[in-house]
Amino acid sequence: MRKIAVLGGGQLGMMMQESIGEMPIELHFLDPDPLCSAKAVSEHVTLGSFKDEETVMAFCADKDVITVEIEHVNLQALYRLEEMGKEVYPQPAVLECIIDKGLQKQFFADEFIPTAPFELIDSGKEALKAGWKPPFVLKSRTGGYDGKGVQVIRSVSDMVKAFDGPCVLEELAPIKKELAVIVARSIECEMVSFPVVEMDFEPELNLVRAVLSPARIPDEVADKAREIAETLIDAWGLVGLLAVEFFWCEDGSLWVNEVAPRPHNSGHHSIEGNVTSQFQQHLRAISGMDLGDASVQGAAAMVNLLGAAGHQGKPFLENEELLKKEPKAFLHDYHKSETRPGRKMGHLTVLSEDVESALEKALELRKKLNYVKSST
* Helix (H/G/I), strand (E/B), else coil: 88: strand
| Least confident range of 23-37, 50-64, 189-203, 347-361 | 189-203
Of the pLDDT bands very low, low, confident and very high (cuts 50, 70, 90), residue 376 is: confident
Could you tell me which residues come within 8 angstroms of residue 42 by beta carbon, excluding any fewer than 6 positions away? Answer: 9, 14, 17, 27, 29
* Helix (H/G/I), strand (E/B), else coil: 213: strand
Query: Taking Cα atoms as reference points, which of 37, 20, 36 lies closest to residue 277?
Result: 20
206, pLDDT greater than 60: no
Domain ranges of the chain: 2-88, 117-171, 175-373
pLDDT tens digits along 269-313: 999 999 999 999 999 999 999 999 999 999 999 999 999 999 999
Task: Indicate the residue type of 233.
Answer: I
Q: What is the pLDDT of residue 143?
A: 81
Q: What is the pLDDT of residue 200?
A: 87
205, pLDDT greater than 60: no
Other Cβ atoms within 10 Å of 245 Cβ, number = 18
CA dihedral 7→10→12→18, nearest 10 degrees, is 100
Q: What is the pLDDT of residue 43?
A: 97
Kindly state the average pLDDT of the residues 138-151.
83
- What whole-number distance in Å separates Cα of residue 73 and Cα of residue 31? 11
Of the pLDDT bands very low, low, confident and very high (cuts 50, 70, 90), residue 1 is: confident
> Would you give the end-to-end CA distance of the chain in angstroms?
42
Of the pLDDT bands very low, low, confident and very high (cuts 50, 70, 90), residue 148 is: confident
The architecture that CATH gives domain 117-171 is: 2-Layer Sandwich (3.30)
Parallel/antiparallel/unpaired status of strands 175-185 and 191-193: antiparallel
User: What is the 3-state secondary structure of 166-183?
Assistant: CEEEEECCCEEEEEEEEE
Beta bridge partners of 315: 373
Kindly state the average pLDDT of the residues 150-173.
94
Other Cβ atoms within 10 Å of 343 Cβ, number = 18
| Mean pLDDT of the residues in the chain | 95
Query: Taking Cα atoms as reference points, which of 242, 294, 290 lies closest to residue 89?
Result: 242
- CATH for 2-88? 3.40.50.20
Of the pLDDT bands very low, low, confident and very high (cuts 50, 70, 90), residue 201 is: confident
Query: Taking Cα atoms as reference points, which of 117, 112, 118, 116 lies closest to residue 227?
Result: 112
119, pLDDT greater than 80: yes
202, pLDDT greater than 90: no
Query: Taking Cα atoms as reference points, which of 139, 158, 165 lies closest to residue 150?
Result: 139
Of the pLDDT bands very low, low, confident and very high (cuts 50, 70, 90), residue 146 is: low
Q: In this structure, which CATH number among 3.30.70.3270, 3.40.50.261, 3.20.20.140, 3.30.470.20 belongs to the domain 175-373?
A: 3.30.470.20
Of the pLDDT bands very low, low, confident and very high (cuts 50, 70, 90), residue 145 is: low
The CB-side HSE value for 300 (13 A sphere, CA atoms) comes to 27
Of the pLDDT bands very low, low, confident and very high (cuts 50, 70, 90), residue 207 is: low
- What whole-number distance in Å separates Cα of residue 240 and Cα of residue 335? 26
Integer-rounded Cα Rg, in Å, for the chain is 20
Task: Indicate the residue type of 372.
Answer: V
Query: Taking Cα atoms as reference points, which of 219, 266, 234 lies closest to residue 113?
Result: 234
Kindly state the average pLDDT of the residues 85-110.
97
Whether the Cβ atoms of residue 294 and residue 269 lie closer than 8 Å to each other: no
232 or 200, greater pLDDT: 232
Beta bridge partners of 249: 175
- What percent of the chain stands above pLDDT 70? 98
Task: Label residues 312-339 b or e (16+ Cβ within 10 Å = b).
Answer: eeebbbeeeeebeeeeebbbbbbbbeeb
Whether the Cβ atoms of residue 73 and residue 51 lie closer than 8 Å to each other: yes
Q: What angle do CA 210, 212, 217 make, to 5 degrees?
A: 130
Q: What is the pLDDT of residue 179?
A: 98
